[in-house]
Structure 1
């Protein structure tokens, strides 16, 4: 008998109620969300289903006032952030991340690679985030859905923000 994951009994769907009034240019926009990471709401977090890592920038951690004793060293390089270059994270940190809508929320802890270079976003959330939250993206509607104790949470963004 298989062991089922929590939330796997629930169905998440997208339908016309999720459709924006207009879609300016199909496929040209990124899914950008505004979760709470640690205790701060970040407004430019990229949901990147093609990334195997969760990334946060050292300057962002500093601006968030994160206790430096929570950060641990790492030695595992990665590729794909800077074209053609290997990147070496400075450190790793585990941080709680909360997704919410006006009536509902869900929080999990994720491991972030802390990088020393600058990026266009406050953080990047990859496959590990999608997996931990069992989140389902819809890039056409720029929406992300996941289950929580009080039902489906729908996180969305506007085409202007994306």
Structure 2
């Protein structure tokens, strides 16, 4: 995407009643993934995870998820929101995103992503819901992905150690999980 001068659509939906930043909307994939670190921040017990199968295409090697779980995902505000249940694979992956929401989940929301304008539009009870992307998070994600692809992040760095001092440019750091614990998060009672 960066070569085409198009940024990824990075947003901050509410997942399991916590606002989770750095979530990629990937309209071309069919895999919903949430990082293990973000899953731990949601404070959901691992006993709620169901078994999952390995997948590929996100990392150089196949990824063996910790498990899979269905979580409520909410876009919008208290006045205008849309909520759906999304099945996520919980995996320990080195990506600049806390989660990836893909095409099947977008179909559930009946959402349309426009990557040129960095917006996501969907229907809601109060009309059309427009969710704006986070341009700063998108640029940081592109820089991190470029550093990973260019090999500037050694394998040891991906596991948490410092990069080699012989590198001329330090790679971009992966964003941290930033949950928001506000009372204005829309919650739908089931």
Q: Above 0.5 in TM-score?
A: yes
TM-score normalised by structure 1 residue count: 0.78
Distance 1:152 1:121 in 2: 26
CA-to-aligned-CA distance 1:1-37 (integer Å, 9 cap, x gap): xxxxxxxxxxxxxxxxxxxxxxxx9633110011000
Correspondence for 1:53: 31
Structure 2 unmatched ranges of 5 or more: 139-190
Alpha-carbon distance in structure 2 between the residues aligned to 1:148 and 1:134: 10
Can you give the 5+ residue segments of structure 1 that lack an aligned partner in the other structure? 1-24
Does residue 118 of structure 2 align to residue 110 of structure 1? no
**Higher fraction of helix:** 2
Cα distance in 2 for partners of 1:77, 1:59 equals 18
Give RMSD over aligned pairs: 1.7
Instruction: Give the CA deviation at 1:102.
Output: 6.3
Report what 1:14 is aligned to: none
Pairwise CA distance, 1:40: 0.8
Q: How many residues align?
A: 136
Name which of 96, 103, 114 aligns with 1:120. 96
TM-score by length of 2: 0.67
Could you say if the C-alpha distance between residues 28 and 53 of structure 1 is closer, same or farther in structure 2, counting changes exceeding 3 Å? same
**Distance across 1 between alignment mates of 2:93 and 2:137:** 23
1:129 partner SS: helix
Deviations 1:113-154 (A, max 9, x none): 010223211100011111110100110000000001111100
Q: Kindly indicate whether the alpha-carbon contact (under 8 Å) linking 1:101 and 1:155 is maintained by their aligned counterparts in 2.
A: no
Bigger fraction of residues in strand: 1
